[in-house]
Chains A and B, each alone.
Chain A
Amino acid sequence: MFNKALFKQSCKANGIMWAIITFATCFMLACVMIISGNGNLTKLTGSMSSSIIESTVETTMEDRGLNYYLISVDALQRYDARYNSTQNNLMALMQFFQNDIPAILEENGFEQDENGEYPQGALELQGLILTVLNPDLTSVAPFLPSLGIDIDPNMFKEFYESHGEEAPTYDVSQVDSENRLDYIKDYAQKNASIYLAGNMSSDEVAQSIIDGTEESGGLKNYGITLDDYKTQFVYDDGSGQMVSKFTGDTGYAYIKDLSNTAIVTLRARVDYELSKNDGRPETEITQEIIGDLTQTFLDTLPDEISQSLREIGELDIYSMIVGTIFYNIAGLLLPMIYMIMCANNLIAGQVDRGSMAYVLSTSVKRKQVVFTQAMFLIGSLFAMFACMTVVSVVCLAILGPATVTLGYGELLLLNLGAFVAMFAMSGISFLASCWFNRTKYSLGLGGGINIFFLVATILGLFGSSAMPTVVRLDSLNFFNYVSIISLFDVVSILDGTLTFIWKLAILLGIGIVCYIIGAFKFQKKDLPL
């Protein structure tokens, strides 16, 4: 089947073109990978996503602060009521533990499970109430286990001290005074903010914000690590030094301030709305204002814009440039030029010129000719993409996988996919080359179809899901359905889904079928030699 002499001759005839195109493609690939990986490519999306994330985190903190404040006010009022009825701190505290805390938890949606235990969130709330109240637990300590409460009597005091705050004492002496509600609100505002700041600025909480829960997904989905969280979100502490917003002592101060400001705003606006005296209940007004205050930056924008901003924030520009722009389009162009010219040279060109006569008049079978030439075409393309693979892996190693989001596995799959796509297209060109005796038809049809596929892919790119919605033209997505290059599913490879496998299998099938039909046609047709 295989004819060594013919293979050698094909190498000599197409070798220089192969070398030039391979060099050019590899050079282009190296430029794309190194420049876009080293440059400030990710800065735009980085700053965009981090400012969006920053505002979202801040809003979450404010939301939590307001919530803590309201719960604290509620809890303090309940405690006042207990104290009013018993006039005894110990009794009031006991009843508060026994009745009010479970009631508050239940109002906030936490229920005991069969073992009488509360979920994690309930403990946090319980901690909030007790921290804010900061009761003198030494007297009730012996009774606590019987209530199912297991706490260190001194932990609240220690909490305050560890943040350099003075432990407050909830003053019940003036429980009947007129300004009692204002006192409660001030007290709750100050101490709920401290609790929030103290809690949220710890590294464990930061980690849990990044990890997120299963439903909501944390910040790690946006590519944020704990280090980013600590170093990217910063503010000027007044001395010109940028310090962390959400972690450590500086984070504590910032969050406390954030919460305080939010609560003050809430209180001021609630007072203003109440002063209008339009008959609406205070709770409704409060909820409405909280809704206003806790809108994130994205919530304030129209849906389309917020959606596209979110997408840009999530956009992995590096993978898009290397994967979609290079491997799906730019990196296919040069190999395609080689492939089209080479496929034509191997069969139709030689038949058209007549030089095939010298091969066939030497007892080389047509089957051998077509098999050898197909092997040469496939082999040279494989070698070309092997070179590209080596170059791309070296480039990624130079960049260091940490600096870019692209992994080695994805990179290898991109190279493999591009080769399979090229294989399928080379099948079409080879078929045209076998089918026609004239170069003009072989190039026109075999090359034309493949160029059409590439152009359709370029147009389709602007309508594909790889493009963020801001710049996406949905109508152009039509072109993706008329190009077989779409079967090389870069988006699927980068997302780690498996759809690309059956699509590549189709490409492989197209290529094999085209080569086989071409081989049969060449053996059966008349040759004008």
Chain B
Amino acid sequence: MKDVIETDYVIETQSLTKDYGMGRGIFDINLKIKKGEMVGFVGTNGSGKTTTIRCLMGFIKPTDGHAYVCGMESWKNASDVAKHVGYVPGEIAFPDLPTGTAFLKSQAEYFKIKDMSYANSLVEKLQLDTRANLKRMSKGMKQKTALVAALMNNADILLLDEPTTGLDPLMRNAFLDIIKEEHKKGKTIFMSSHMFNEVEETCDRVALISDGHLVDMVDMKKIKNRPSRDFKVEFLNEKDYLAFKKLGYKIIRDQEKYYQVTVNIKHKDINKLFKDLSKFDVKFISEVKYTLEKYFREVLAKKKLVDKQKQVDELSGKKEEKDV
């Protein structure tokens, strides 16, 4: 094992595993994030997002595999890693200090920052009143304060653990805007979330983690610029409905009861579809948006199927062994 590796990626994990027993933890996570990327990290509660980020911060020691930040092994070089990373923890709990100002000042001392102008500009931009009592701050204020603390040493990498949880939609959008702005400045951002739509809006790439396993890593461009679209069409009468079905479109969902069909159409065929539809009595037509959530649902369903098949295979394999 090397403490420092040569790598093009600012964040890299090599079959990172943290086994808490009873199937809990993270297993064989391989992540590669380039400089300047903004990567989302989604998964349900308890799927291992926070564990992965803690490994990256060097707070916990992996059972197996390694996490590298800027080529440095996180566990061994936690304090050096920290220099390159701004971290917003999932649970915001401030030290026992009176006000936000006192907290930011003490953070500045840790960072050995003498010039508070950058921090002050951040505070201004976030419209944050740091004179407030730390304990009586609202969730949004706390998140903002934590973000200022993470940004104030101008680190290249931002690790955000569910930063928008508990924020109202307006606050959330404002918060995400700030993060996007940081991204534009060229910072690498790794943000975990259990809300698909927010990473969908902001991130370049999204990793999906489920039950501790990295299921998929998808480029948002792929999802946004799919070569085909889905349209849902409902007809007024059965005759038209049956006639349309005979036209040979790729039907992915058929609801006979309502005379509804959902068709998958390539971009270039959209005009043809509308021409064909003009001949029928159409009740409504709408595009079924292909979301990240939908994509991941499919991926997970496929994975489940594969897992089941594997289990069945294993079982039958065992049976055969027994029979032999």
Which residues of A sit under 8 angstroms from B110, Cβ to Cβ? Answer: 3, 5-6, 358-359, 362-364
Residue B91 CB within 8 A of the other chain: yes
Q: Are A360 and B59 in contact (CB under 8 A)?
A: yes
Q: Are A361 and B57 in contact (CB under 8 A)?
A: yes
Q: Are B106 and A8 in contact (CB under 8 A)?
A: yes
Which residues of A sit under 8 angstroms from B107, Cβ to Cβ? Answer: 358, 362
Task: Provide the bound-state CA to CA distance between A6 and B78, in Å.
Answer: 17
Residue A280 CB within 8 A of the other chain: no
Which residues of A sit under 8 angstroms from B54, Cβ to Cβ? Answer: 526-529
Within A345-385, the residues touching B (CB, 8 Å) are 345, 350, 353-355, 357-366
| Contact among A5, A12, A354 for B89, CB-based, below 8 A | A354
Most A CB within 10 A of own CB, among B60, B78, B95, B149 = B95
Comparing B80-88, B116-124, B165-173, B187-195, the segment that makes contact with chain A is B80-88
Within B28-80, the residues touching A (CB, 8 Å) are 54, 57, 59-61, 78-80
Q: Are B57 and A529 in contact (CB under 8 A)?
A: yes
Query: With A6-B110, A355-B93, A355-B94 known to touch, is A361 a contact of B61 (CB < 8 Å)?
Result: no
Query: With A362-B107, A366-B78 known to touch, is A357 a contact of B61 (CB < 8 Å)?
Result: no
Task: Determine how close the nearest CB of chain B comes to the CB of A14; give it in whole angstroms.
Answer: 8
Within A26-63, the residues touching B (CB, 8 Å) are none
Task: Determine how close the nearest CB of chain B comes to the CB of A525; give it in whole angstroms.
Answer: 8
Which residues of B sit under 8 angstroms from A528, Cβ to Cβ? Answer: 54, 59-60
Residue A4 CB within 8 A of the other chain: yes
Residue B97 CB within 8 A of the other chain: yes
Task: Provide the bound-state CA to CA distance between A13 and B97, in Å.
Answer: 6
Question: Of all chain A residues, which has the CB nearest B55?
Answer: A526
Number of interface residues of A (CB under 8 A): 28
Residue A174 CB within 8 A of the other chain: no
Q: Are A363 and B59 in contact (CB under 8 A)?
A: no
Within B6-27, the residues touching A (CB, 8 Å) are none
Task: Provide the bound-state CA to CA distance between A4 and B112, in Å.
Answer: 11
Residue B201 CB within 8 A of the other chain: no
Task: Provide the bound-state CA to CA distance between A359 and B149, in Å.
Answer: 11
Task: Give per-residue flags for B100-111: 1 if the beta carbon is below 8 A from chain A beta carbons, else 0.
Answer: 001100110111
Residue A275 CB within 8 A of the other chain: no
Question: Of all chain B residues, which has the CB nearest A526?
Answer: B60
Most B CB within 10 A of own CB, among A4, A359, A524, A529 = A529
Which residues of A sit under 8 angstroms from B57, Cβ to Cβ? Answer: 357, 360-361, 529
Question: Of all chain A residues, which has the CB nearest B83?
Answer: A363
Residue B143 CB within 8 A of the other chain: no
Which residues of A sit under 8 angstroms from B86, Cβ to Cβ? Answer: 361
Most B CB within 10 A of own CB, among A9, A353, A362 = A362
Which residues of B sit under 8 angstroms from A8, Cβ to Cβ? Answer: 106, 109
Q: Are B94 and A363 in contact (CB under 8 A)?
A: no
Which residues of A sit under 8 angstroms from B59, Cβ to Cβ? Answer: 357, 360, 526-529
Q: Are B93 and A354 in contact (CB under 8 A)?
A: yes
Question: Of all chain A residues, which has the CB nearest B95?
Answer: A355
Question: Of all chain A residues, which has the CB nearest B54?
Answer: A529
Task: Provide the bound-state CA to CA distance between A358 and B111, in Å.
Answer: 10
| Contact among B89, B102, B153 for A362, CB-based, below 8 A | B153
Residue B115 CB within 8 A of the other chain: no
Within A432-468, the residues touching B (CB, 8 Å) are none
Q: Are B109 and A350 in contact (CB under 8 A)?
A: no
Task: Provide the bound-state CA to CA distance between A331 and B66, in Å.
Answer: 51
Residue B96 CB within 8 A of the other chain: yes
Which residues of B sit under 8 angstroms from A362, Cβ to Cβ? Answer: 82, 107, 110-111, 153
Task: Provide the bound-state CA to CA distance between A232 and B185, in Å.
Answer: 93
Q: Are B91 and A354 in contact (CB under 8 A)?
A: yes
Q: Are A526 and B61 in contact (CB under 8 A)?
A: yes
Within A470-529, the residues touching B (CB, 8 Å) are 524, 526-529
Task: Provide the bound-state CA to CA distance between A13 and B111, in Å.
Answer: 20
Task: Determine how close the nearest CB of chain A comes to the CB of B101; give it in whole angstroms.
Answer: 13
Task: Provide the bound-state CA to CA distance between A360 and B78, in Å.
Answer: 8
Task: Determine how close the nearest CB of chain A comes to the CB of B303; give it in whole angstroms.
Answer: 29
Which residues of B sit under 8 angstroms from A5, Cβ to Cβ? Answer: 106, 109-110
Q: Are A9 and B87 in contact (CB under 8 A)?
A: no
Task: Provide the bound-state CA to CA distance between A12 and B201, in Å.
Answer: 42
Task: Provide the bound-state CA to CA distance between A364 and B149, in Å.
Answer: 15
Which residues of B sit under 8 angstroms from A345, Cβ to Cβ? Answer: 96
Which residues of B sit under 8 angstroms from A9, Cβ to Cβ? Answer: 95, 97, 106
Task: Provide the bound-state CA to CA distance between A289 and B18, in Å.
Answer: 94
Task: Determine how close the nearest CB of chain A comes to the CB of B313; give it in whole angstroms.
Answer: 36
Q: Are A363 and B89 in contact (CB under 8 A)?
A: no
Which residues of B sit under 8 angstroms from A364, Cβ to Cβ? Answer: 79, 82, 110
Task: Provide the bound-state CA to CA distance between A9 and B103, in Å.
Answer: 9
Which residues of B sit under 8 angstroms from A363, Cβ to Cβ? Answer: 79-80, 82-83, 110-111
Which residues of B sit under 8 angstroms from A529, Cβ to Cβ? Answer: 54, 57, 59, 89
Task: Determine how close the nearest CB of chain A comes to the CB of B315; give it in whole angstroms.
Answer: 36
Which residues of B sit under 8 angstroms from A359, Cβ to Cβ? Answer: 95, 110
Task: Provide the bound-state CA to CA distance between A133 and B82, in Å.
Answer: 106
Task: Provide the bound-state CA to CA distance between A527 and B74, in Å.
Answer: 13
Q: Are A357 and B87 in contact (CB under 8 A)?
A: yes
Task: Determine how close the nearest CB of chain A comes to the CB of B49; give it in whole angstroms.
Answer: 14
Question: Of all chain A residues, which has the CB nearest B146?
Answer: A358
Q: Are B95 and A13 in contact (CB under 8 A)?
A: yes
Task: Provide the bound-state CA to CA distance between A207 and B97, in Å.
Answer: 68
Task: Give per-residue flags for A230-256: 1 if the beta carbon is below 8 A from chain B beta carbons, else 0.
Answer: 000000000000000000000000000
Q: Are B95 and A350 in contact (CB under 8 A)?
A: yes
Which residues of A sit under 8 angstroms from B98, Cβ to Cβ? Answer: 12
Q: Are B60 and A12 in contact (CB under 8 A)?
A: no
Q: Are B109 and A4 in contact (CB under 8 A)?
A: yes
Task: Determine how close the nearest CB of chain A comes to the CB of B54; give it in whole angstroms.
Answer: 7
Which residues of A sit under 8 angstroms from B111, Cβ to Cβ? Answer: 362-363
Task: Give per-residue flags for A250-275: 1 if the beta carbon is below 8 A from chain B beta carbons, else 0.
Answer: 00000000000000000000000000
Task: Provide the bound-state CA to CA distance between A524 and B60, in Å.
Answer: 9
Most B CB within 10 A of own CB, among A345, A355, A358, A528 = A358
Task: Provide the bound-state CA to CA distance between A453 and B150, in Å.
Answer: 44
Task: Give per-residue flags for B145-156: 1 if the beta carbon is below 8 A from chain A beta carbons, else 0.
Answer: 000011001000
Task: Provide the bound-state CA to CA distance between A8 and B103, in Å.
Answer: 12
Task: Provide the bound-state CA to CA distance between A473 and B94, in Å.
Answer: 51
Which residues of B sit under 8 angstroms from A6, Cβ to Cβ? Answer: 110
Task: Provide the bound-state CA to CA distance between A355 and B110, in Å.
Answer: 14
Q: Are B95 and A361 in contact (CB under 8 A)?
A: no
Question: Of all chain A residues, which has the CB nearest B102?
Answer: A12
Task: Determine how close the nearest CB of chain B comes to the CB of A98; give it in whole angstroms.
Answer: 97
Task: Determine how close the nearest CB of chain B comes to the CB of A448; give it in whole angstroms.
Answer: 23
Ranked nearest first, the 8 interchain pairs of A and B with the lowest CB-CB distance are A5-B109, A362-B110, A526-B60, A13-B96, A353-B93, A354-B93, A361-B87, A363-B82
5 other contacts beyond A361-B150, A363-B80, with CB at 8 A cut-off?
Answer: A9-B95, A13-B97, A350-B95, A357-B59, A526-B61
**Could you list some 27 contacts between A and B, CB below 8 A?**
A5-B109, A9-B95, A12-B96, A13-B95, A350-B95, A354-B89, A357-B87, A358-B110, A358-B149, A359-B110, A360-B59, A361-B82, A361-B87, A361-B89, A361-B150, A362-B111, A363-B80, A364-B79, A364-B82, A365-B79, A524-B61, A526-B54, A526-B61, A527-B59, A527-B60, A528-B60, A529-B59
